[in-house]
Copies of this chain bind each other. A is one copy, B any other.
Amino acid sequence: MSTELWLAQLHENGYRLTDARRAVVEIVERSARALTPVEVYDMARRKYRALGLVTVYRTLEKLEELHLIQRVHQPMGCQAFISAGEGHQHLLLCQNCGQVAFFEGDDLDVLTKSIAKKTGYQISEHWLQLFGLCVNCRTN
């Protein structure tokens, strides 16, 4: 559904709509876990055989530029992307299956102010990521 929105975004920003891009967008937008370029390639090629890996890289680049996807950092590697959350959100990752959940409402103001005072740094950003087991992986 939101696939259409992504394609519209691309179009509005002067990018042409091609079958290659449609295939990549469809895969990435619908995934509940972060995907590497090769994973996207393999999956998207089932929709569009002629797709090239290079185009996957190029499309991911543009989607990141438009803030439609974001890079996910993990102990095993940092070359994976997931559709970006809206507004100020952070990720919660299942260490077993990779399932991603977004959350918001973290309040680090007290902490950052205290650290700023203590260290003299002017703090402007933070990265927060939680790891654990999703409902499925927890039970089974």
Binding site for B on A (CB under 8 A): 73, 78, 92, 94-95, 101, 103, 105-107, 111-112, 114-116, 118-135, 138
Residues of B contacting A106 with CB < 8 Å?
111
Q: Are B138 and A119 in contact (CB under 8 A)?
A: no
Q: Are A130 and B103 in contact (CB under 8 A)?
A: no
Q: 19 more A-B contacts (CB under 8 A) besides A94-B121, A107-B111, A122-B132?
A: A73-B73, A92-B121, A92-B123, A95-B124, A103-B115, A103-B118, A103-B119, A105-B111, A106-B111, A115-B130, A119-B134, A120-B135, A121-B132, A121-B134, A121-B135, A121-B138, A122-B133, A125-B132, A127-B130
